[in-house]
Amino acid sequence: MEKIHEDIEYAKTIQSDFYNSTQQFNKAKEQIFAKSWQILSDDRQLKLSNSAVPIHYMDGFIDEPLLLINNEGSIDCFSNVCTHRGNILIENNCQINKQIVCKYHGRRFNCKGKFISMPESNGMKNFPSENDNLQSIAVNKWHQFIFCSLEPTINFDKLIEPINERVGWMPIRDFIFDPNASRDYLVKANWALYCDNYLEGFHIPFIHKDLAKTLDYSKYKSELFNFCNLQIGIASGGEHAFDLPESSIDFGQEIAAYYFWVFPNLMFNFYPWGLSLNIVKPINPKLTKVEFRTYIWDESKLEHGAGSILDKVEREDEDIVEKVQKGVSSRFYKHGRFSPKMEKGVHHFHQLIYDFISNS
């Protein structure tokens, strides 16, 4: 993989084989996704002490079985695999009755993942040891959202800090999940192509005619941070915008949407009505699942502004990204160039991909 030039005015985009190669796909799995912070769930099913939710780290991609447990108000995450013979410990959401008991041979653990006992263990030498405890997994909770990482290399607080600083005035913790407005999409394209498309507003007037009517394209801007970035959509005249508090650094502006991307695959789209959380999950080099999760703040604003036509915008994005996937598979395409004004976010993304992959 060629290094991405730090100066966007000279830089070339990532080589096309990244979007097509199984080898590169597998490198991304271990060098990017296993080391990143992923949203596992929100806390709706973890309200009670000792409540437990079995979940996979990234189902269909990194199928690592994990277990979330509410330990007296604190969320812990453990491997959901028995340390005796590898049985899955908990298969359904439940409330643990004092101990976790393996249904295969009766090995027992407490809710902190510590080994307690196992039948017929007399005569075992150097037993129990630390290896008999459940593996603890790095976990963090931001508002109602639960993140974990298998091998974290990024400080979580610094990762999420730009979002807190910009939209921390919103009552995000009170946003209500709406299952009826949430859905999954399958995109016949590489996960990174989908992110490339998200990370620039360059295509909006060409691909999203209706969305373009709600935004002032001339004022569209991007801001870069270490492991995330922000695109700000300014409302065109008469369109719905945030009622910003005086404490906001954006006070006085007609902002229609805050589009936050968190490396490598999380998208927090804040609108006056609430949050559209998008999770991009790779399936294979040319197939991606995108989970749209809707959290409502003000239902009366759902039908107005930039956040009112999300399904239409998504379908338009899917169509163009799938066409680009075919194009980057051409033997005649290797890489392109970045627009210094409009593609700063894509350049930043490609630099991060190179940095993580090259450190393998």
What are the tens digits of pLDDT across the range 319-352? 999 999 999 999 999 999 999 999 999 999 999 9
Q: CATH class for domain 161-358? A: alpha beta
pLDDT at 61 over 80: yes
DSSP assignment of 11-47? -BPPPGGGGT-HHHHHHHIIIIITTS-EEEEESTT--
Band (309; pLDDT cuts 50, 70, 90)? confident
User: Helix, strand, or coil here: 202?
Assistant: coil
Band (176; pLDDT cuts 50, 70, 90)? very high
Structural element, H or E, at residue 193? helix 191-198
pLDDT at site 7: 98
Count other C-beta atoms under 10 Å from residue 92's C-beta: 7
Q: How far apart are CA 144 and CA 152, in angstroms?
A: 20
Question: What mean pLDDT comes out for the span 154-170?
Answer: 97
pLDDT at site 207: 92
pLDDT at 359 over 90: no
> Which of 73, 109, 74, 62 lies closest to 89 in space, CA to CA?
109
User: Helix, strand, or coil here: 352?
Assistant: helix
Q: Are 152 and 102 in contact (CB under 8 A)?
A: no
Band (194; pLDDT cuts 50, 70, 90)? very high
Band (304; pLDDT cuts 50, 70, 90)? confident
Q: Are 4 and 351 in contact (CB under 8 A)?
A: yes
Q: Are 54 and 67 in contact (CB under 8 A)?
A: yes
> Which of 274, 71, 94 lies closest to 177 in space, CA to CA?
274
Question: What mean pLDDT comes out for the span 7-30?
Answer: 97
pLDDT at 238 over 90: no
Pairing of strands 183-187, 176-177: unpaired
pLDDT tens digits, 242-297: 999 999 999 999 999 999 999 999 999 999 999 999 999 999 999 999 999 999 99
pLDDT tens digits, 82-136: 999 999 999 999 999 989 999 999 999 999 999 999 999 999 999 999 999 999 9
Q: How far apart are CA 49 and CA 99, in angstroms?
A: 13
pLDDT at site 1: 86
Mean of all residue pLDDT scores within the chain: 95
Residue 331 to residues 20, 28, 325, 327, 335, Cα–Cα distance (Å): 11, 22, 12, 9, 11
Determine the straight-line distance between the first and last CA of the chain, rounded to whole angstroms.
12
Band (360; pLDDT cuts 50, 70, 90)? low
pLDDT at site 228: 97
pTM above 0.85, yes or no: yes
Phi, psi of 79 (to 5 degrees): -65, 140
Own/partner pairs for 202-211, CB < 8 Å, 24+ apart? 202/339, 202/342, 202/343, 203/320, 207/316, 207/317, 207/320, 208/313, 208/316, 210/309, 210/312, 210/313, 211/306, 211/309, 211/313
Band (27; pLDDT cuts 50, 70, 90)? very high
The CATH number of 38-149 is 2.102.10.10
Sequence ranges of the domains in the chain: 38-149, 161-358
pLDDT at 301 over 70: yes
Q: How far apart are CA 254 and CA 258, in angstroms?
A: 11
pLDDT at site 308: 85
Map tokens 């007037």 to a residue. 205
pLDDT at 73 over 70: yes
Q: Where are the beta strands (DSSP E) in 80-220?
A: 94-95, 99-101, 108-110, 115-117, 138-142, 145-149, 176-177, 183-187
